[in-house]
């Protein structure tokens, strides 16, 4: 049978920029925590479109708000008022503990807004006689997006180097190294930029000491602490924002991935004080915070509150982590289990093994991905059930046990490991 996938693949190969190495699957639908391919095969989705489809597929809150709002109004531009922005901003300020919101269309745009606000704030303070420099301190292993500002604060060289020169004035601090932070911090710094749990960097939580030090140093100098919660925010870790696990309030946070249940929407949320730096005309967007995306985001948040999903995320996430730990005690290739809520990872002892496990899981119709070479990442929809966790753990257990038994595979893993070293 001629599959649609083959012709689409051939067409894309000549028509699209070669930015992605896609898995050879054509998804045509989804329901709950499952995706469906063109042959009707169901896949258990533990990645949710990279942490986006928080309510899974076909959730009535999303479907209904989308249908209703699309009949009323899809776009107005930011030249006029519509009902959604203030309503959504009220929710985001309640959730983050911050005061004011700027809406964008993606994570990287929310991050650009945060960087621009920090630079503008430093300028404002300097004009008021309190000198602040223009330097950003970002963290090693960070990921903040692909536009120029964001990529400048992203640590991995392969993302930055082809596009050099990137935005100047960024220095990287060793992750969780309090001494390095103290050594590099000065009145030249306008903001310290962190992911509270590094996502692309391998699901690595920031240490309480490091975050507390960043908060203290920025507070003392009058500069800003900026927390990127694009992956970890909106309930993913069992609290609305991951920094709430640390009892630390940043001056700015950024949200995006799960914010509008699959529609593109980003938000930069900041303190009243930081917001003083931005006035009419300084920043903006044509599409950001449109009526459709806002209506769906409101529906997502209200559904999360009605369904008590934060409680569920803590419950099922705790169970998932516990069973991963138990699996790690049986399978020696698992060297670490990390994360909070439904932002979890299992680190393996080799990149080849991690790659193999992702491929074998896909054969079993379970979607996970590999980040930071050796890390299996789990970012499932918030509606994941304990039974889905059991299915996942059983599959991982079988795959890893098979691998132990197949000597040739183990040898090839070893030889490629030795080649690299």
Ligand X SMILES: *Cc1c(COP(=O)(O)O)cnc(C)c1O
Count residues near ligand X (CB under 6 A): 15
Q: Which stretch binds ligand X (CB under 6 A): 21-29, 106-114, 172-180, 371-379?
A: 106-114
- C-beta closer to ligand X: residue 85 or 106: 106
Q: Which stretch binds ligand X (CB under 6 A): 69-77, 139-147, 310-318, 368-376?
A: 139-147
Measured CA to CA, the distance from residue 286 to residue 273 in angstroms comes to 26
Q: What are the two backbone dihedrals, phi and then psi, of residue 381, each rounded to the nearest 5 degrees?
A: -60, 150
137-158 burial, b if ≥16 CB within 10 A, otherwise e? bbbebbbbbebebbbbbbbeee
Q: Which stretch binds ligand X (CB under 6 A): 32-40, 107-115, 121-129, 170-178?
A: 107-115
Q: How far is the CB of 250 from ligand X (least distance, A)?
A: 14
Which listed residue (111, 175, 210, 246) binds ligand X by CB under 6 A? 111
- Can residue 256 be called a binding residue for ligand X (CB under 6 A)? yes
Structure tokens at 353: 């093994």
Q: Which SS3 state, helix, strand or coil, does residue 316 take?
A: helix
Q: How far is the CB of 235 from ligand X (least distance, A)?
A: 15
Residue pointed to by tokens 């040739």: 408
Report CA torsion sign: 297, 298, 303, 304. Answer: positive
The residues, any chain, with a CB within 8 Å of residue 62's CB and separated by 6 or more, are: 55, 261, 262, 296, 299, 300, 303
- C-beta closer to ligand X: residue 242 or 399: 242
Cis status of the peptide bond prior to 165, with omega within 30 of 0: yes
Q: What residues does 339 pair with on adjacent strands?
A: 344
- C-beta closer to ligand X: residue 18 or 306: 18
Q: How far is the CB of 104 from ligand X (least distance, A)?
A: 9
- C-beta closer to ligand X: residue 256 or 300: 256
- Can residue 153 be called a binding residue for ligand X (CB under 6 A)? no
- Can residue 253 be called a binding residue for ligand X (CB under 6 A)? no
> Are 74 and 292 spatial neighbours (Cβ–Cβ below 8 Å)?
yes
Find the Cα–Cα–Cα–Cα dihedral 97, 98, 100, 105, rounded to 10°.
-80
Q: What are the two backbone dihedrals, phi and then psi, of residue 339, each rounded to the nearest 5 degrees?
A: 115, 175
- Can residue 106 be called a binding residue for ligand X (CB under 6 A)? yes
- C-beta closer to ligand X: residue 221 or 246: 246
Q: What are the two backbone dihedrals, phi and then psi, of residue 301, each rounded to the nearest 5 degrees?
A: -65, -45
Which listed residue (108, 152, 223, 413) binds ligand X by CB under 6 A? 108
- Can residue 201 be called a binding residue for ligand X (CB under 6 A)? no
> Are 327 and 353 spatial neighbours (Cβ–Cβ below 8 Å)?
no
85-100 burial, b if ≥16 CB within 10 A, otherwise e? beebbebbeebbebeb
Which listed residue (107, 202, 258, 288) binds ligand X by CB under 6 A? 107
- C-beta closer to ligand X: residue 138 or 299: 138
* Contacts within 8 Å (CB) and 24+ apart, 156-164: none
H/E stretch holding 344 reads strand 343-348
Which listed residue (43, 121, 143, 175) binds ligand X by CB under 6 A? 143
- C-beta closer to ligand X: residue 32 or 235: 235
Q: How far is the CB of 197 from ligand X (least distance, A)?
A: 9
- Can residue 230 be called a binding residue for ligand X (CB under 6 A)? yes
- Can residue 345 be called a binding residue for ligand X (CB under 6 A)? no
- C-beta closer to ligand X: residue 19 or 421: 19
- Can residue 299 be called a binding residue for ligand X (CB under 6 A)? no
Q: What are the two backbone dihedrals, phi and then psi, of residue 161, each rounded to the nearest 5 degrees?
A: -55, -40
Which listed residue (84, 199, 289, 380) binds ligand X by CB under 6 A? 199
Positions that interact with ligand X (CB under 6 A): 106-108, 111, 143-145, 195, 199-200, 228, 230-231, 256-257
């Amino acid at each position: 049978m001629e599959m649609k996938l083959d012709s689409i693949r051939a067409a894309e190969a000549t028509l699209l920029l070669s930015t992605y190495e896609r898995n050879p699957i054509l998804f045509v639908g989804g329901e709950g925590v499952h995706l469906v391919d063109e042959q009707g095969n169901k896949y258990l989705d533990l990645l949710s479109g990279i942490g986006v489809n928080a309510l899974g597929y076909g959730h009535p809150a999303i479907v209904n708000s989308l249908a209703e709002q699309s009949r009323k109004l899809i776009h107005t531009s930011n030249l006029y008022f519509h009902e959604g922005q203030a309503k959504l901003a009220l929710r985001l300020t309640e959730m983050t503990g911050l005061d004011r919101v700027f809406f964008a269309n993606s994570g990287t745009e929310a991050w650009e807004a945060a960087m621009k606000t920090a630079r503008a704030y430093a300028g404002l303070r300097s004009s008021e006689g309190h000198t602040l420099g223009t330097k950003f301190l970002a963290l090693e292993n960070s990921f903040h997006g692909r536009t120029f500002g964001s990529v400048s604060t992203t640590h991995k060289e392969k993302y930055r180097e082809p596009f050099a020169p990137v935005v100047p004035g960024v220095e990287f601090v060793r992750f969780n190294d309090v001494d390095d932070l103290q050594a590099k911090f000065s009145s030249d710094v306008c903001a310290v930029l962190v992911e509270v749990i590094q996502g692309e960097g391998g699901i690595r939580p920031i240490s309480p000491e490091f975050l507390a030090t960043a908060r203290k140093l920025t507070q003392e100098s009058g500069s800003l602490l900026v927390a990127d919660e694009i992956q970890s925010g909106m309930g993913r870790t069992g609290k609305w924002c991951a920094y709430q696990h640390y009892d630390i309030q940043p001056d700015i946070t950024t949200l995006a991935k799960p914010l509008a249940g699959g529609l593109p929407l980003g938000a930069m949320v900041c303190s009243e004080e930081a917001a003083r730096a931005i006035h009419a005309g300084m920043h903006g967007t044509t599409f950001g915070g449109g009526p459709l995306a806002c209506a769906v985001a409101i529906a997502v948040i209200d559904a999360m509150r009605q369904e008590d999903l934060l409680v569920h995320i803590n419950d099922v996430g705790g169970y998932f982590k516990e069973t991963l730990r138990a699996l790690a005690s049986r399978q020696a290739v698992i060297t670490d289990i990390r994360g909070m809520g439904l932002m979890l990872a299992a680190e393996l002892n080799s990149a080849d093994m991690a790659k193999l496990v992702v491929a074998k899981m896909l054969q079993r119709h379970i979607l996970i991905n590999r980040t930071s070479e050796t890390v299996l990442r789990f970012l499932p929809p918030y509606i994941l059930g304990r039974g889905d966790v059991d299915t996942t753990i059983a599959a991982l257990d079988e795959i890893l046990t098979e691998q132990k038994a197949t000597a040739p595979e183990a040898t090839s893993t070893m030889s490629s490991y030795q080649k690299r070293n």
